Amino acid sequence: MEESVDIFNAFSDKQQDIRAYSPLTLAYIGDAVYDLIVRTAVVAQANRPASDLHHITVKYVSAPAQARIVEALMNELTEEEHSVYRRGRNAKPHTMAKNASAGEYKKATGFEAVLGYLYLSGRRDRVLELVKKGMESEESWRTRNLP
């Protein structure tokens, strides 16, 4: 994702090895990237009131949804992505989501770390591929499990 490199260059002249970032730093940026992609995908479906857009977006960005998504994507991840996921999942966050179990929160953090790593590595296509497959798997899960 050339944009991420351009953003870095605009605000800093030093290059840092992305592998040196803490998993929680990767999750921090991954959370924002994921949220932006999901919001964009939801808006692309239809022009709706903001409250409706928010209601739909929450279905994908909650920790329980992200935990289900990453479980569905595990066989899709490369070894490098698995390694980043494990680092993110095993990190010790300072907070926990109020509507998720500790396990769900850790899985979601691992997923966000993968997305952050890929984004900062300039791999926009891979980020979009994983998010699209993840949203499709979550929609399929909701169809099977919710009334």
Spatial separation of the C-alpha atoms in residues 107 and 40, rounded to whole Å: 23
Sequence-ordered list of residues with C-beta below 8 angstroms from that of 103, at least 6 positions apart, any chain: 67
pTM of the model: 0.90
Per the prediction, the chain carries an average pLDDT of 90
> Of 102 and 6, which is predicted with more confidence?
102
Active site (catalytic) residues:
31
**Residue 17 DSSP SS3:** coil
Architecture of the domain spanning 2-6+21-141? Orthogonal Bundle (1.10)
Tell me what the mean pLDDT of segment 22-34 comes to. Answer: 96
Task: State the pLDDT at residue 144.
Answer: 87
Q: Are 69 and 134 spatial neighbours (Cβ–Cβ below 8 Å)?
A: yes
